[in-house]
Amino acid sequence: FLSISAIENASVSKGVNAVYPVTVTNLGIDDELVKLSGECPEGLVCSFDPVSYETLYPTQVKLFNLVVDTTNADSGNYSIRLDTALGTQTTACDVRYLSLEVKPVTPSPGPRFVATLEPSANQSSRPGDYVEYAISIFNNADEKGYANFKTVGAFAANTVFSASSIELAAFETKRVTAKVRIPPGAPGGTFDQLFQISAASAGGVRYPLQLYSQIFVFAPTIDLQLENEPVDCITTQHAGETVWEMALRNNGEVEGLFSLSLEGVSEALESAKLSADVLEVVSGDKQYFRLVFKPKKSVALDTYYLNLLVKYLDFAIMQKQICFTVTAVTDFYVKKLDEYAVIRSIVTPIEFTVVNNGSVSNNFELQVLPPATMLVQALPQSFSLSPGEERLVRLIASTSLERTPLGRNTIKVMISDKTGVKQAHYFNVNVVPSNRSGQSFFSISIPELRVTPGAPGTAFIEVKNSKNAPFHDVSLTLSGIPSTWYSIQPSSRDVPENGSAVYQIDFSIPSNPELKPYELEFTASSALEGESVKQNASLLLLAPVRSIQASALDAQYFLSGDKREILVSITVQNNGTVGVKSVKLSSTGYAVFSQPSLLDLAPGEQKTFTASIVVPSDLPTNSTVALLLNSPDGAYSEVRIIAHPEEKTAGSSWILYVIIALILLVAAIFLLSRREREAEEAIPSERGTRERLP
């Protein structure tokens, strides 16, 4: 019931004392007198500083220092025997051999590393307070060095270093603080505090250093005694009740509430209960409590062990081990699926049922043997079943992106009952991707998706691969809108290791859908490797914008009597998001002839009218005429041209007259054709039945 640890190797120069720290922990339930002795070979002298013995209460940790004097030793290697004995025993319960290298004395400017502790004197504190130390370490060499820090002692778990590992430059001194918290409820007494420093040179040579201190905790003493504790295991029976009465006596100074609890395996805890969880015991008094055993028929026939733990303000004061023995044709089978889906990177339960079809109650235990790429735990790991009873069991499978490959695998589970019968069961699992971002080697980068119905739209989707291996035939699919609204190119492609691939999606959305955000789901998947991921996005449909802009170019003026004819080029550009059709040129109050008569414009497209406008010749100088451009779907623009420029005379170029004549001829043909169509529509339908004259 002792835990003994010691530094077993040391190297010193002749004349220097070698110190071997020995830490002894009492793991038993009773106080123990621990005695240490050292046997040194000729030339060495062994002693202990300060003492070689100590009575340790349960859980107490004590540091002993074996000091070896090398003054009269020759250089060389030595073996030192270290014996540990208990009580009055003369036979050692632990024997170990320590190695010592005594090196010849060589001139040296000083130790390779020098460590000091401040304050150097022993400290005192109270429960709940802190004790602070400062450790200085000096690198006594013209090269880099390193040092790690840890502590051993009763308060090791409550010690925090400002840095647990440091690097030292040549001849540099650094200071590390250690803050030790005395736990609330700690009893009074003196506790050892050992700081262990593992220093190392740049070449890897290690230099162990130790700094020792003691902390006196000023607090009332606690001295509890358990009366009538069982010496042997308590015998219990199935479906019966066994009561064992004990008393807790307080011989110390602390008065108050003491908590009682039991620790042990689940079967033991289900069979044993305490009559009280808390006892108030004043100094010099005692309080009785009972330990009640009620093992169920399902509890296996076996001997069970419990730890009776007594605490004061969450500080463990006493721990006693108590055992009890439960004293009274088995068969079972398993119901499971042919295959289970395990989602990678997500904890997945695998459920099955164990059925006891025997004639007596039985206890079962599960041992899980998972593949190396999974962590699997059975819940529960052990349970009991009455005859005909069944139990749902879950295998909790944990997987990871880096360790667990996709695909099929097998989990082996050994199920045994109390009689030693074992059955091996194999669970077929298929590891599938979770399709969640961050849980896949794939990720999808999607830009903002805005498309105008009736107009083409294009977006580029990037699929990234974070794995150190390529994926083949990776396809990108889309759901959330009709498949006739889009196309994706290419249908599939390879994605290189730690690389990406770009897919083009072309939208061709009808001109009259509901203008609302559409929730899309993109899926990137590799049919060959099974990897996949999903990513949500919103598609925003924009209202169509129809806009045209016109400008006038190269106006020519021709005077004929009281009329002035203007020949001009009108450029029209579609600045909207959709195409416009049948753009017509007109003017209020004036006749306008254009070639062509109507224009169709795609988004961004630009075309030109050649127009002729006839205005009175007596309009004021620099007056303007408004030319209107509009389409049936609402596109509109206006451009103004000068109707009477300054000092302009009619031109005589026959080319211009020919152009004007052609425009007038086209306009006349257009009007004549329209009148003929109107006349034909007005003739009765019986015209086709009339008899034709010879």
Give per-residue pLDDT as tens, 277-310.
Answer: 999 999 899 999 999 999 887 788 789 999 999 8
pLDDT at 437 exceeding the cut of 90 = no
Domains assigned to the chain: 2-103 (2.60.40.2310), 113-217 (2.60.40.10), 224-326 (2.60.40.2310), 332-432 (2.60.40.10), 442-541 (2.60.40.10), 548-672 (2.60.40)
* pLDDT mean over 388-403: 92
User: What is the rounded distance in angstroms from the CA atom of residue 352 to the CA atom of residue 355?
Assistant: 10
User: What is the rounded distance in angstroms from the CA atom of residue 62 to the CA atom of residue 35?
Assistant: 11
Q: Is 164 left (phi over 0), alpha (psi -120 to 50) or beta?
A: alpha
CB-based contact 120:127 (threshold 8 Å) = no
pLDDT at 595 exceeding the cut of 90 = no
pLDDT at 648 exceeding the cut of 60 = no
Residue 516, class by beta-carbon neighbours within 10 Å (0-12 exposed, 13-18 middle, 19+ buried)?
exposed
Portion of the chain with pLDDT greater than 70, in percent: 91
Portion of the chain with pLDDT greater than 90, in percent: 50
Lowest mean pLDDT among 282-296, 452-466, 548-562: 548-562
CB-based contact 94:56 (threshold 8 Å) = no
pLDDT at 502 exceeding the cut of 50 = yes
* pLDDT mean over 480-487: 93
Give the pLDDT band (50/70/90) at residue 314: low
User: What is the rounded distance in angstroms from the CA atom of residue 596 to the CA atom of residue 604?
Assistant: 19
Give the pLDDT band (50/70/90) at residue 694: very low
Lowest mean pLDDT among 69-83, 171-185, 656-670: 656-670
pLDDT at 650 exceeding the cut of 50 = no
Give the pLDDT band (50/70/90) at residue 652: very low
Averaged confidence pLDDT in the chain? 86
CB-based contact 535:525 (threshold 8 Å) = no
The CA radius of gyration of the chain, in Å to the nearest whole number, is 49
Within 13 Å, how many C-alpha atoms sit on residue 593's CB side?
Answer: 19
User: What is the rounded distance in angstroms from the CA atom of residue 273 to the CA atom of residue 439?
Assistant: 46
CB-based contact 454:375 (threshold 8 Å) = no
pLDDT at 167 exceeding the cut of 80 = yes
Lowest mean pLDDT among 65-74, 302-311, 625-634: 625-634
Lowest mean pLDDT among 160-164, 257-261, 490-494, 654-658: 654-658
Angstrom distances, CA of residue 691 to CA of 679, 682, 683, 684, 694: 20, 19, 15, 14, 9
pLDDT at 512 exceeding the cut of 60 = yes
For the whole prediction, is pTM greater than 0.75?
A: no
**Does residue 475 or residue 184 have the better pLDDT?**
475
> If we measure between CA atoms, which residue out of 525, 521, 635, 531 comes closest to residue 582?
635
Phi, psi torsion values for 444, nearest 5 degrees: -115, 125
Sheet bearing 486-489, strands edge to edge: 442-445, 457-465, 500-507, 486-489
